[in-house]
A and B are shown apart, each in its own frame.
Chain A
């Protein structure tokens, strides 16, 4: 017994080694499934479809050449720059309008018809009219991204600031809170998880709609390059761009989920 370093009884059976803990079926399964999916894709294209169709191996081979081209970096810079800038503007405006709607009934009644109608509308349907108004240029992309972020943030902020627990307001009033204290000191922090959810939605819609504008209005950027490279039968390079977009989208999503967990650990979904 003593030779076992003080551990007693049958539980002294050795702890699982690190590789046994790491290699649980739940951990192995995604790797196997991923390899399986890639293999099916590669084999299907090689045996059934023409050469130019993208394959996993082809995409990997195309990565160095695509990343070496300066146009890849300028495309990435303008597209992601416009998306981040547009979401930032839309978020700020959405928070201001949302807090006003959530805290003042009259503002809500005045604006909700339009905000909720536009929120329900697939924003991609607005792309043509925005192109007519703003023109075939990058400003159309920025406009659409701003709208894409503004609407979900305004709606979630309004919902979040409306549903403040009454106790919070009572405590605020006891300490003599002024209206702006209630708005930005109580309502806004309480609504933060809602707002983050709105920003997440805004990013998702903003990315999609930015790509839509680029393709429909011939604005230079990643989305246009995806379609252009595919049109030139350079499918592998096209999918390198898709991969970059996917990494950005997944990264943003992870960032949002993390920040929501940090800001409000009690809030799920």
Chain B
């Protein structure tokens, strides 16, 4: 009986602590999880030989690679491909999305094919694209764009289609001309939808860049990774993978910030 009281009291204290010290527990959880990962990584790294390297070795390897050698120019190559891809995604995706929303028949004609192309693993089309268009820069851009454009295109299309009739009617009643309707009604309404797509495309453009670099004559960051894999240079591969992961988290974070800024005035509506 006493023991049962003891356990009950213990759990009650745990429950109370969980609510009163939530902030501290949160910090402790984050800190302990990172400490655990680094500790396990460090310990395993020492005992696994060639296949695994400790955290400290990985980081010093990354630092060394960023000082010079093939990684820095490779990052430039990949960044250029990524930037061009994302720019094309945004410009073409938003434009085509708006046009398709306005031209119902053309949209009905091509929509099934857009969805089939979207569902098809683009990576399997890489050999075909390379035979049609070669292995050069614009062929890579094409591969990366096909992989990453659809969220923007479909998001814009969905947004432009869901503009409430009343908004356009009110604008028309107040005598807006076509240009004003676009500037004051359509674009602000579509922007959050497009941004949701852009956020996904920011991440997918990285996938596209890597796929294009892996499979159309290795180049850029992917070439560095493949080179390291071939000679089982685990430290380099881990270092570059960590670096790519950090870039991905940063880029997705930036996308989320922009989206939050754009949807601030309709957050309640979005939920």
Q: Does chain A bind chain B?
A: yes
B30 touches A121 (CB 8 A): no
Interface residues of B in 176-194 (CB under 8 A from A): none
Residues of chain B contacted by A250 (CB below 8 angstroms): 115-116, 119-120
A37-B113, A120-B252 as given contacts; A125 in contact with B132, CB under 8 Å: no
B128 touches A117 (CB 8 A): no
1/0 per position for A22-45, CB-CB distance to B under 8 A?
000110011011100100000000
Q: Which of B64-72, B102-110, B166-174 contacts A (4 or more CB under 8 A)?
A: B102-110
B33 touches A113 (CB 8 A): yes
Interface residues of B in 76-120 (CB under 8 A from A): 104-106, 108-113, 115-116, 119-120
B121 touches A207 (CB 8 A): yes
Q: Which of B1-9, B135-143, B206-214, B258-266 contacts A (4 or more CB under 8 A)?
A: B206-214
The verdict on B34 contacting chain A, using a C-beta distance below 8 Å, is yes
The residue in chain B whose Cβ has the minimal distance to the Cβ of A238 is: B127
The verdict on A249 contacting chain B, using a C-beta distance below 8 Å, is yes
The verdict on B229 contacting chain A, using a C-beta distance below 8 Å, is yes
**Which of A110, A118, A122, A207 is close to B203, meaning CB atoms less than 8 Å apart?**
A122
B229 touches A128 (CB 8 A): yes
The verdict on B232 contacting chain A, using a C-beta distance below 8 Å, is yes
B109 touches A33 (CB 8 A): yes
**Which of A114, A126, A204 is close to B33, meaning CB atoms less than 8 Å apart?**
A114
Q: Determine the distance from Cα of A211 to Cα of B103 in the docked complex, in whole angstroms.
A: 37
Residues of chain A contacted by B109 (CB below 8 angstroms): 29-30, 32-33
Q: Determine the distance from Cα of A223 to Cα of B125 in the docked complex, in whole angstroms.
A: 10
Q: Determine the distance from Cα of A169 to Cα of B26 in the docked complex, in whole angstroms.
A: 24
The verdict on A266 contacting chain B, using a C-beta distance below 8 Å, is no
A29-B108, A33-B113 as given contacts; A109 in contact with B26, CB under 8 Å: yes
Q: Determine the distance from Cα of A117 to Cα of B37 in the docked complex, in whole angstroms.
A: 14
A208 touches B128 (CB 8 A): no
Residues of chain A contacted by B45 (CB below 8 angstroms): none
A122 touches B210 (CB 8 A): yes
A230 touches B128 (CB 8 A): yes
The residue in chain A whose Cβ has the minimal distance to the Cβ of B271 is: A163
User: Would you give the shortest CB distance from A143 to chain B, in whole angstroms?
Assistant: 14
The verdict on B32 contacting chain A, using a C-beta distance below 8 Å, is yes
B26 touches A230 (CB 8 A): no
A111-B33, A113-B34, A125-B225 as given contacts; A245 in contact with B207, CB under 8 Å: no
Q: Determine the distance from Cα of A75 to Cα of B102 in the docked complex, in whole angstroms.
A: 44
Given A109-B29, A242-B128, list of 19 further CB < 8 A pairs? A29-B106, A33-B109, A105-B22, A105-B26, A110-B33, A113-B30, A114-B37, A120-B248, A120-B249, A121-B245, A121-B248, A122-B210, A124-B207, A125-B210, A129-B237, A215-B214, A215-B215, A223-B123, A250-B120
Residue contacts A-B, CB under 8 angstroms, 12 given: A110-B32, A111-B33, A113-B34, A116-B249, A128-B237, A208-B207, A216-B229, A231-B127, A238-B127, A242-B124, A246-B121, A250-B119
B interface with A by C-beta (< 8 Å): 18, 22, 25-26, 29-30, 32-34, 37, 51-52, 104-106, 108-113, 115-116, 119-128, 130-132, 203, 206-207, 210-211, 214-215, 225-226, 228-229, 232, 234, 237-238, 241, 244-245, 248-249, 252
The 9 residue pairs across chains A and B that have the minimum distance between CB atoms: A230-B127, A109-B29, A29-B109, A33-B109, A246-B120, A122-B207, A128-B229, A120-B252, A128-B225
